[in-house]
Amino acid sequence: SLLSASLLGIDFANPLLNASGVYCRDVAELDALAASAAGSLVTKSCTLLAREGNPEPRYYATPLGSINSMGLPNAGYQYYLAYAQQHDYAAKPLFLSVAGLSLADNLTMLAAIRAADTPAIVELNLSCPNVPGKPQIGYDFAAMTAMLEAVTQAYDRPFGVKLPPYFDIAHFDEAAAILNRFPQVAFVTCINSIGNALIIDVEAESVVIKPKDGFGGIGGDYVLPTALANVNAFYRRCPAKQIIGCGGVTRGEHIFMHLLAGASLVQVGTALYEEGPGIFARLNDELAELLTRKGYRGIEEVRGKLRTL
């Protein structure tokens, strides 16, 4: 139908899902997403052991978006694997986001996920922490290569990677060249939050979140152009892979932009946090109205059709 989407040969009723980390940390939230108009859902990035995460306030929203330094609070990978094993895949697909604190942790989690033999699709979060003092994995190309070499040995199913935003053409080139060495990396999710931003409250003359002296990843309106550029950069450079867009979606026309840029599915983070799962019905309606007004019969006709001048 009009909004039907496809990834890894799997059918989706529509291209929308949550961004990992938003509205997906416990069963109640995951069940609410499963019951919503979202075409699929992804779990909070998990670690080997459960984590409380950073002290609060660790999330703050402004009229233009959000800032967070959650610190990977999650119930531990077995919790999300158990959820994946009871999920009704006939209703909608489910993604498991994995963000091990070490390569060893990722290998342990992926081996368990593989052994469970669930239909869940793995999204490997490369914005996970690296050795202290070194940049996150997504910004350490040697570590990223080593991680993918080890993961593709341990996990023999197609999976995807969640990338941080890049801002330099040479970085798009280098990151894509690494990913293209791994055909098993079947999709790329662009982008994670733009890291280490700082939001200031003038009234209080203060930062707005407690961890890291107020430094945190931003999402929302702040990041839409960067998200679209990363979607299109990897769409152009990775013709054998699919792209999941993430960043800056608050209205149907933003989903349309992500589709034009090359996205097959589109994730919603900050706007979902602020509006709740009802947002998916609104966004699907707005997207359907836009597609119909423009004479499209399906989102497949839109994907990657961005014109240049």
Ligand X SMILES: O=C(O)c1[nH]c(=O)[nH]c(=O)c1Cl
CB of 240 to ligand X, least distance (A): 25
Q: Are strands 185-190 and 65-68 parallel, antiparallel or unpaired?
A: unpaired
**Closer residue to ligand X in complex, CB, 124/279:** 124
Q: Are strands 200-201 and 94-98 parallel, antiparallel or unpaired?
A: unpaired
Structure tokens at 71: 């610190």
Structure tokens at 220: 């929302």
- 8 A C-beta contact, residue 248 and residue 221: yes
CB of 203 to ligand X, least distance (A): 25
**Closer residue to ligand X in complex, CB, 39/217:** 217
Catalytic residue (one of 24, 46, 128, 246) = 128
CB of 174 to ligand X, least distance (A): 21
Output the CA torsion 260→265→267→272 (10° steps): 100
Whole-angstrom distance, CA of residue 74 vs CA of residue 268: 19
Whole-angstrom distance, CA of residue 179 vs CA of residue 103: 17
**Closer residue to ligand X in complex, CB, 5/128:** 128
- 8 A C-beta contact, residue 166 and residue 233: yes
Whole-angstrom distance, CA of residue 211 vs CA of residue 60: 12
CB of 70 to ligand X, least distance (A): 3
**Closer residue to ligand X in complex, CB, 43/193:** 193
| Residue 254 CA to its chain's centroid (Å) | 16
**Closer residue to ligand X in complex, CB, 51/282:** 51
Identify the CA nearest to 40 among candidates 1, 85, 5. 5
Whole-angstrom distance, CA of residue 253 vs CA of residue 249: 8
Number of neighbouring beta carbons within 10 Å of residue 3: 19
**Closer residue to ligand X in complex, CB, 113/163:** 163
Whole-angstrom distance, CA of residue 268 vs CA of residue 18: 5
**Closer residue to ligand X in complex, CB, 123/261:** 123
CB of 22 to ligand X, least distance (A): 9
CB of 72 to ligand X, least distance (A): 4
Whole-angstrom distance, CA of residue 108 vs CA of residue 8: 24
CB of 49 to ligand X, least distance (A): 15
Whole-angstrom distance, CA of residue 309 vs CA of residue 131: 43
> Which residues of the shown chain bind ligand X in the complex (CB under 6 A)?
21, 45, 68-72, 99, 125, 127, 192-193, 217
Helix (H, G, I), strand (E, B) or coil at 124: strand
Clarify whether 238 is annotated catalytic: no
Catalytic residue list? 128
